[in-house]
Chain A
Amino acid sequence: MRPKRRRLALVVAAMVTLGVAAALVLSAFEDNLVFFNSPSDVVEKRLPPETRFRLGGLVEENSVTKEADGLTTRFRVTDMKHTVNVRYTGMLPDLFREGQGVVTDGRLGPDGVFVASQVLAKHDENYMPPEVADALKKSGHWLPDGQKAKP
């Protein structure tokens, strides 16, 4: 095969691969790009039910209750301005505590309760998820040491 045709074959192969990749990326992006919202965002943006997003904030003090099945937990996520009710069935991460930062992934139900499919584990006591820190800064309740934000 002549060099010219060889190069052409290579270019065609590269175009095909990139084209397939671009198509895969675009279709996957459409379904799997998950936005982060704070409780204030949820209230202010009036997000429609069944939208999937990440909800983050602080676990409100005295808001955690267990249901009778022993597996379902209800709690409220707050940014000190607004709160959202959350329901989660499953094991909570080791560092899930009242008054601490949390990020949950799930969908908003028609009754306004956020049904979490995942509660994200944070690995450090002093660690505040950056999204949550930002959300608290926006709502004006950010204290530099993060954990001691008061209602």
Chain B
Amino acid sequence: MIAETGHFAVILALVVALLQASLPLAGTALRIPAWSALAVPAAVLQFALILLAFGCLMVLYITSDFSVMNVWQNSHSAKPLLYKISGVWGNHEGSLLLWVLILALFGMAVALFGSNLPPSLRTRVLSVQAMIGVGFLGLLVFLSNPFNRIFPAPVDGNGLNPLLQDPGLAFHPPFLYLGYVGFSIAFSFAIAALIEGKVDAAWARWVRPWTLAAWTFLTIGIALGSWWAYYELGWGGWWFWDPVENASFMPWLAGTALLHSAIVVEKRDALKTWTVLLAILTFSLSLLGTFIVRSGLLNSVHAFASDPGRGVFILAFLILVIGGSLALYAVRAPALRAGGLFAPISREGALVFNNLILITALATVFLGTMYPLFLDAITGAKVTVGPPYFNATFAPLMTPLVAVMAFGPLLAWKRADLMGALHRLKFAAAATVVALLGALYFTWGGPVLAVLGFGLGVWVVMGSLVEVVERTRLFRASARDSLNRAIHMPRSVWGSALAHAGVGVFILGAAGALGWESEKLQVMKPGDQVELAGYTFIFDGARPARGPNYDATEGTFRVYRNGELLTVMQAQTRRFANPPMETTEAAIHPTRMGDLFAVVGTPAGDGAYQTRLYRKPLINLLWTGALLMAFGGLVSLSDRRHRVGAPSRRRVEAAGTAAQRA
């Protein structure tokens, strides 16, 4: 009964979405208020129905109802509750349902909190949002129904891939989706603006917080995925330039560009058509990201079994959304009037530079990710584009952007004084030189690129703090005065400083993890000891261990530093029964300056095991940096101006009459 209720709710939601996509849009065009008025209740109803369906699926998973195919394929009665719940979205059908749930949630948020939007804009945004919903709900109802029954019902399920049974990964997809789907709002606003033929500061004011929220979620989602890969896959890597990782990284790059160009639209009324195009691009890449993962086109952890019908549907949907919106853009974009002028050396100029570099870097990532697919489709040749390609293109392209990032926020709008901005950075520059020399001294003979990366990271962190230090008159005014100024400083200034500093911290981590890592691979008998980067690892042998739904072999290492016991590390190889599979559970010991990482492999006879030991300096800064970026996004989101949303109606009218007079 629960499964049928869920199925019925999804079908109803599709019908509601169809109505919401068509009638209100026609209503605004034909001036039939009753039709336009449908948009808001339809958005709320659509969300309620999808929430009901999602709730049904969750109940089926929690109660292990194996008469439902989806539950049988992906769950098992012996699985811990958390993974029964996360199993809901650990498969194709369930993850689609989560996707539309979030889509409808955001649609409802626009409906409920958008009362200060121009009514026609809100109606059109909701209709466009529903069009996306129709595509996804159609896929759910016709090709990917999560509520299909099987008869007779099996006794127990197949279980969830043990690699996915992990708290880090339980929340990785929802955050990623909150990011992807969040960009749908920017997209809907862009399409609605194209239909209306008007993009102004009020429009940008609405788009910015949504983009910022989506970007923040996506940042957290990507960081969670990377962290999971680091401690769960047991290879000690954190980013592999795997196509699926790139699929989530590309919308992040485009979203970062959108975030910055929308500022120019809001403050200076310039870059309007470009920003609309970016909004379309960002969401298109999010769609591509969702489907590239789901389509089975790429082989990775994320690929689920797929049938050709789905592939055709997905391809058709992608072409319709991307092609349709670009066609609309081509027809309507010239109608958007270009705004304010600015000199190349100005805040706008710096933001244009930001966009230029981000989009170019995005293009190189896109090329590297999609080239094998295109080549396979055209010539049938199978190729792989490895991480060295991405390192060799992405890093050099991003370096100038990161270098400029330190003083971009110090430049004035319209026309700025470059020398003045550089002068204000003299302390940051001094700190960078000291850091460079220090790093060079301590790692003499090591890779020079890591030293340069380290210097770049310090430069960005210090540069990002300059504005905060100046605005709070730190070290010049009294502590109390500084604190007062810090509290009253606009949150968006705090947010951008924190996010930019986060990028710097991330670069420090990347420099350490890529350049200064030490690694040793060997066979160790009980009692053997290995020296690694000043640490002594003594292997105490391996013993069997048991977990809730797996058996394990647990190897123990004692780690000494300067003759003193620092820690005992226990690494496992786990064998799961449902589905039958083995995983490697690395032992990680965080220290202030990075991680120790130990892996136990296959036995080599006489109680000896293959072992792999790493010292990974500064690697913790990678995720600290990513979290700092996300935190900066949240702080910026709490800025009063974002909460107000659009300017008060009186001001819009005043601006309107002023424009008419002009």
Residues of A at under 8 Å CB distance from B?
Answer: 1, 3, 6, 9-10, 13-14, 17-18, 20-21, 24-25, 27-29, 31-36, 54, 66, 69-71, 89-92, 94-95, 105, 121-125, 127, 129-131, 134
Task: In the complex, identify which listed stretch (B146-154, B329-337, B378-386, B404-412) lies at the interface while the others stay far away.
Answer: B378-386
Chain A CB within 8 A of B393 CB:
yes
Question: Is the Cβ of A17 less than 8 Å from the Cβ of B360?
Answer: yes
Other than A17-B360, A34-B386, A89-B521, give 9 A-B pairs with Cβ distance below 8 A.
Answer: A13-B352, A13-B356, A21-B363, A28-B392, A29-B385, A33-B384, A91-B601, A123-B163, A130-B299
B602 touches A92 (CB 8 A): yes
Asked, given contacts A17-B357, A21-B393, whether A70 binds B383 with beta carbons under 8 Å apart, the answer is no
Given contacts A69-B523, A70-B523, A94-B581, contact A28 B388 (CB under 8 A): yes
In B152-192, the 8 Å CB interface with A consists of 161, 163
Is A9 a contact of B383 with CB atoms below 8 Å?
Answer: no
Asked whether any CB of chain A lies closer than 8 Å to the CB of B583, the reply is yes
Residue from the set B368, B389, B584 with the largest chain A CB neighbour count within 10 Å: B389
- In the assembled complex, 23 residue pairs joining A and B whose CB atoms fall closer than 8 Å, in A order, are A6-B344, A17-B397, A21-B361, A21-B364, A24-B393, A25-B364, A25-B368, A28-B393, A29-B385, A33-B383, A34-B383, A35-B383, A36-B381, A54-B384, A71-B523, A89-B521, A91-B601, A92-B602, A94-B581, A94-B582, A105-B384, A105-B386, A131-B299
Q: Are B610 and A32 in contact (CB under 8 A)?
A: no
Please give, as numbers and ranges, the residues of chain A lying within 8 Å of B163 by CB-CB distance.
Answer: 123
Picked from A27, A34, A36, the residue with its CB within 8 Å of the CB of B392 is: A27
User: B343, B382, B523, B608: which contacts A131 (Cβ < 8 A)?
Assistant: B382
Contact B521 A90 (CB under 8 A): yes
Find A29's partner among B303, B389, B610 (CB 8 Å cutoff): B389
**A122: chain B residues within 8 A (beta carbon):** 299
Q: Are B610 and A31 in contact, with the CB atoms below 8 A?
A: no
Q: How far does the Cβ of B657 sit from chain A's closest Cβ, in whole Å?
A: 27
Bound form: Cα–Cα A121–B240 in Å: 13
B364 near A91: Cβ-Cβ < 8 Å: no
Closest to B600 in A: A91
The 5 closest A-B pairs by CB, nearest first: A36-B382, A70-B604, A70-B523, A32-B389, A28-B392
Please report the C-alpha to C-alpha distance between residue A6 and residue B352 in the assembled complex, in whole angstroms: 12
* Most interface-central of A3, A29, A91 (chain B CB within 10 A): A91
By the criterion CB–CB under 8 Å, are B397 and A20 in contact?
yes
The secondary-structure label for the interface of chain A is mixed
- Does B599 sit within 8 A of A, measured CB to CB? yes
Closest-CB distance, A38 to chain B (whole angstroms): 9
- Cα-based distance from A20 to B368 in the complex (angstroms): 16
**What residues of B have a CB within 8 angstroms of the CB of A32 in the complex?**
385-386, 388-389, 392
Q: Which B residues form the contact surface with A (CB < 8 A)?
A: 161, 163, 233, 235, 299-301, 303, 341-344, 352-353, 356-357, 360-361, 363-364, 367-368, 371, 381-386, 388-389, 392-393, 396-397, 521-523, 573, 579-584, 599, 601-602, 604-605, 608, 610, 612
Inter-chain contacts of B382 with A (CB < 8 A): 35-36, 54, 131, 134
A9 to B344, CA, bound (A): 7
Q: Which of chain B's residues have a CB closer than 8 A to the CB of A3? A: 341
The residue on B at minimum CB distance from A38 is B382
Give the nearest-CB partner of B599 in chain A. A91
Chain A positions within 8 Å of B383 at CB level: 33-36
Residues of the B chain whose Cβ atoms lie less than 8 Å from the Cβ of A27? 392
Inter-chain CA distance A124–B164, complex, in Å, is 11
Given contacts A32-B388, A36-B383, A54-B384, contact A129 B299 (CB under 8 A): yes
Q: Which residues of A contact B381 (CB under 8 A)?
A: 35-36
Most interface-central of A20, A24, A89 (chain B CB within 10 A): A24
Query: Is B397's CB under 8 angstroms from A21's CB?
Result: yes
Residues of chain A within 8 A (CB-CB) of B360 are 17-18, 21
Complex: chain B residue closest to A20, CB-CB: B397
Contacts of B601 in A (CB 8 A): 91-92
* A26 shortest CB reach to chain B, Å: 10
B583 partner residues in chain A, CB cutoff 8 A: 94
Q: Which of A121, A125, A131 is the one whose CB lies under 8 Å from B233?
A: A121
Q: Are A25 and B367 in contact (CB under 8 A)?
A: yes
CB–CB B602/A34 < 8 A? no
Assuming the contacts A6-B344, A36-B384, asked whether A71 and B582 have C-beta atoms less than 8 A apart, the reply is no
Give the complex CA separation of A32 and B367 in angstroms. Answer: 13
Minimum Cβ distance to chain A for residue B355 (Å): 10
A10 with B388: CB separation less than 8 A: no
Residues of A within 8 A of B371 (CB): 29
Known: A10-B352, A25-B364. A124 touches B384 (CB 8 A): no
In Å, the complex CA distance between A98 and B604 comes to 18
Contact, CB under 8 Å: A34 / B384: yes
